[in-house]
Chains A and B, each alone.
Chain A
Amino acid sequence: MTRILSISTLLVFISAIGLFGQANEIKLEQEKLDNGLVVIYNIDRSAPVVSTVVHYKVGSKDENPEKTGFAHFFEHLMFESTEEIPRASIDKYINQAGGTLNAHTSMDETVYKFTVPANQIKLPLWIEASRMRKLKVQTEGVETQRGVVKEERNVRVDNQPYGDLIERMAKKLWPGSGYEWPTIGYHEHLDKATIEDFQNFYNQFYQPNNACLVISGDFNVDEAKNYVREYFGSIPKGKEIVRREQKFSDLKEKVDIVVEDEKAQLPGIFEGFRGPKLGEDDYYAMSLLSNIMASGESSRLYQSLVNQKQLAVASQMIPFSLQYSGAMIFVNIPNSEDNIEATKKALNEELAKVVKDGVTQEELTKAKNIVEAESIMSNKNTLSKAMSIARYWAYYNEPRMINTEIDKYLDVTLDDIKRVAKKYLDTDKKVILTYIPAKAEK
């Protein structure tokens, strides 16, 4: 009886939130300079600040497999010095202007971010243009940043429980491709990186025709266009970029590896499946399916493994949405080593169930509602908006998808979900990593 009442309550909710989609449209103006640099302007007067994002289409996948970690190491060097800006000055200029700065590197992209008070709009543009014109790579900067990057690897990978999970998973999921190695690189490659290597990397990828500049915030568009022309207009167009070809051979068999981990207190089971790449039709159905399976306390895996069977303390999924491929990594943390096999069995039963029967209309509607609410919540400040706009340019060549991509999620049907479940999850060709806590020497 309780269940029937609950379902009817849910149906009220379904109609109630059919009215979503009242978020204000994000307005954009776009231009392309003669040197190929794409510039996108977005006015947002919520606060007297301006954010700039420069998105370069270069990530760790573009590196030489013998020289991993370059894209990320290079991101650090971009804060060192340029022909005009002395060492250790970029942070100083931005911070003393009341701004903040940051950057990130992934397998596909390297992105530089500034947020400054609105009166300082010219400053980040001047810095970005200066380092796009002529970065200065010097021994002192390289050696300091080598130490910093190695400590970053220690913090993020070597000293975390399950810290090398992504490294191990990527190697097995995408062998032979640029996604095979970790973005942060291997210690031995970081040790060997030379100034000449960095100079070549810069000349190849840090060109205006491989980048997009987004300006979002409280500014005057005509003035901003003048600044952009002043600073970026004379930077010559770079050569056509030759990238290594990305080859993806099918996974040939199931990979099943046990890892002893001194940092882990509880075991961890990580099952990775190859998935659709960013933007292809299957991507939207797969994202919703992932949501239904493993997002939040009402998800299938949480309910089954954590709540009902009480085998695990966490059951989630890490989605990998990449330019040329994708993956779903199911993350399960059993509550004891005794429950490892039972957890694996329960996970596979749930996966088999969704492959066979698909999902219900209620589950699909719920997943769409979550995505719709998140899409509104995620674009509420200038920096997050600028980053999203740049990503839509980089991966879809259509920044205005920031307003319309949600429609692709809303168009997904029950049949789509069932189809992608079968296509990507009904297979033995997957990667299973089982981490077992290893007791450290006392």
Chain B
Amino acid sequence: MNDLNNKIIDWSVPPRSTEIPVFLAPESKKTQLSENSQLLHFYTDIHPLVSFKIVFHKGTSEEEYSGISKVMFELLTAGTDSKSALDFATELDYLGASLNFTESKDYAVCKLDCLNEVFDNAFELMKDALFNPKFDELEIDKTIRKFKSAKEQEEADSNYLSTTAMMASLFREHPYGNPEYGYSDEIEEFTRRNIKNCWESYIFGARISIIVTGNMNKETAHKYALELTNQMADDVYSEEVDNILVREQNKLVIVNFNSSSQSVISVGKPTINIKHENYAGLSLINVIFGGYFLSRLNHLIREQKGLTYGVHSSISSAVHTGLLGVSTSVNLDKTREVVSDILEEMSKISNEMLEDDELQRAKNYYLGSFLRSAESHKQISKMLTTIALNDLDDDYYNQFYRKIKNIRSDELFSTQIDLFKPEGLSIAIAGNEKKLVDQFDGYFDRYDILDKEGKILGRYENNN
């Protein structure tokens, strides 16, 4: 006890707090623009900024040649019918605006961020890029060369190699297993015609959600959105993609990365996706498992053993599956020990009901993260994107918040048993092949050596 400024402070206990503020999801409006397009809008005038996002409900898992979407989107700003690549970039930079295209397995996004007062000019540039790309042969050559170099650089990154190997091993035969930068032998198919087909499949053949957040009122957002959707999504089709098959047996794959004194471990396990009723429970268990600093994995591997700078687990949701993933970089010599720790922690969490203290701590963290997640119009844009992509209720985040707040440990236990058993895992390690093979001798019956694109190069079988 100390006497400070005439006030007695008990330094030995943390200060008491008042009631946590209630989270209320930002009030957005959803409007159907046409059979295949919708607008989600949220207005705030705190900053003079606007985020305008076009979400294509179609991603690289539907592309004809792996990697071609990346090249196609890059080409949209590399010259239009009326502007060279330089003119386009200069005009955009003049506005202090940014226009980005990103693609993932299930969807692609065109995102324009700028000050509200230049929005009209920036919007015209975005429209030009979307509807009038020139796909000039010279620019195509240049862009493919850049793509190849970027692919080469990514393949020098052990994190990329480990993730690619994990996805390939887990989702082999399914497009989710394709490497982000595609397969080298498909690059020759990146012809002007195929690139143009790819462009048409997104612009005219995909459902569209437009997400507008920030300092733009609903009527104006609606006007701009209609200007786009009147020309888009008029021939929507969706390819049938098989559901994911789940294996029971764990699988170890190694991708050689000789020059590193560390190894990168990626563990993956297919799980439920965001539409499943237990998704909130799964997300909460993941927080305890490896989703925050106080998680079991971080406590053991970083804070107790000091074997890593960080170890994280995450849940990602896709259309055809969900993925529980763990990733970490560790000293090469300690790789087997850390893999064992991860599996052991999975086993524990799937066998034992959670203690109330641990659960409450994770809940508090999770509930607080809701408050922090709605600070800016860009964060709100992300929330609306999730709602749009998964056709969730407008009230989804409020419902999710209530579920997390009220769920009990006995209600979570069946989800722990079902979804955290260390079975059906893909354990991918990027590191020195020889040392890893020595370390893992006898650990699994067999393991595969993969190349940089996730293709099988060879197989080791244990003799014992």
Contacts and interface: CB of A to CB of B under 8 A. Distances in A.
Interface of A: 2-3, 6, 9-10, 13-14, 16-17, 19-20, 22-24, 46-49, 83-84, 88, 91-93, 95-101, 115-120, 122-123, 126, 130, 143-148, 151-152, 154-155, 158-159, 161, 229-231, 233-234, 262-266, 296-298, 303, 306-307, 310, 313, 333, 335, 365-366, 369-370, 372-374, 376-377, 380-382, 440-442
* Residue from A6, A123, A266, A382 having most chain B Cβ neighbours under 10 A: A6
Nearest to B18: A119
A3 B96 CA distance: 21
A265 B21 contact: no
Contacts of B89: 296-298
Given A97-B364, A159-B261, A369 B12 contact: no
Contacts of B9: 230-231
B30 to A, nearest CB: 22
Interface residues of B, number: 88
Contact of B307 (A151, A230, A313): A151
Contact of A234 (B2, B115, B260, B374): B2
* Residue from B7, B305, B369, B372 having most chain A Cβ neighbours under 10 A: B372
A95 B94 contact: no
Contacts of B115: 17, 20, 373, 376
A344 B158 CA distance: 29
26 contacts: A16-B118, A22-B48, A24-B47, A48-B21, A95-B361, A96-B364, A117-B21, A120-B17, A147-B305, A151-B330, A155-B329, A159-B262, A161-B153, A230-B4, A262-B258, A262-B259, A266-B149, A303-B86, A307-B85, A307-B86, A333-B149, A369-B93, A370-B93, A372-B96, A373-B96, A381-B376
B184 interface: no
A146 B306 contact: yes
Interface in B253-277: 258-262
Main secondary structure of the interface of A (DSSP, over half): helix
* Residue from A47, A98, A234, A296 having most chain B Cβ neighbours under 10 A: A98
Interface of B: 2, 4-5, 7, 9, 11-12, 14-21, 44, 46-49, 77, 82-87, 89-97, 113-115, 117-118, 121, 142, 145-146, 149-150, 152-153, 155-158, 258-262, 292-294, 299, 302-309, 329-331, 360-361, 364-369, 371-372, 374-378
Given A98-B367, A233-B4, 9 more contacts: A23-B48, A88-B303, A98-B20, A100-B372, A143-B306, A151-B329, A159-B158, A230-B9, A306-B146
A298 B93 contact: yes
Given A13-B121, A231-B9, A154 B262 contact: yes
Contacts of B93: 296-298, 366, 369-370
Contact of A47 (B2, B360, B375): B375
A46 B14 contact: no
Nearest to A263: B259
Contacts of B95: 13, 17, 369, 373
Contacts of B121: 13, 16
A303 B360 CA distance: 55
Contacts of A296: 89, 93
A369 B48 contact: no
A306 B44 CA distance: 39
Given A159-B260, A366-B94, A144 B303 contact: yes
A229 B90 contact: no
Contacts of A116: 368
Given A145-B306, A296-B89, A97 B17 contact: yes
Nearest to A217: B375
Given A16-B121, A96-B361, A161-B153, A24 B258 contact: no
A148 B307 CA distance: 7
Contacts of A374: 96
Contacts of B156: 161, 263-265
A93 B364 CA distance: 10
Given A95-B361, A117-B368, A313-B150, A440 B293 contact: no
Contact of B17 (A6, A14, A122): A122
* Residue from A95, A101, A154, A365 having most chain B Cβ neighbours under 10 A: A95
A187 B440 CA distance: 28
Q: Which 8 A-B pairs have the closest CB atoms?
A: A98-B368, A147-B306, A373-B96, A262-B259, A48-B21, A298-B89, A122-B15, A440-B258
* Residue from B86, B157, B299, B329 having most chain A Cβ neighbours under 10 A: B86
Nearest to B16: A122
Nearest to A377: B49
A295 to B, nearest CB: 8
Contacts of A17: 94-96, 115, 117-118
B1 to A, nearest CB: 11
A320 to B, nearest CB: 23
A6 to B, nearest CB: 5
A88 B292 CA distance: 14
A307 to B, nearest CB: 7
A416 B375 CA distance: 39
Contact of B360 (A48, A96, A382): A96
* Residue from A154, A159, A303 having most chain B Cβ neighbours under 10 A: A159
B364 A98 contact: yes
A376 B21 contact: no
Contacts of B97: 373
A159 B262 CA distance: 7
Contacts of A306: 146
Nearest to A134: B11
Contacts of A159: 158, 260-262, 329
A434 B17 CA distance: 56
A233 B156 CA distance: 52
Given A23-B48, A123-B14, A10 B91 contact: yes
A9 B48 contact: no
B449 to A, nearest CB: 13
A131 B40 CA distance: 46
B76 to A, nearest CB: 13
Contacts of A303: 86
Nearest to A302: B89
Given A307-B85, A370-B96, A377-B49, A119 B11 contact: no
B47 A380 contact: yes
Contact of B294 (A2, A46, A91, A145): A91
Given A265-B153, A313-B149, A442 B113 contact: no
Contacts of B157: 161
A104 B309 CA distance: 14
Contact of B94 (A123, A148, A365): A365
Given A9-B91, A148-B302, A229-B5, A380 B330 contact: no
Contacts of A97: 17, 364, 368
A161 B156 CA distance: 8
Nearest to B77: A297
B50 to A, nearest CB: 11
A87 to B, nearest CB: 9
B258 A442 contact: yes
A382 B15 CA distance: 22
A161 B9 CA distance: 51
Contact of A6 (B87, B293, B305): B87
Contact of A335 (B20, B149, B303): B149
A10 B90 contact: yes
A431 to B, nearest CB: 23
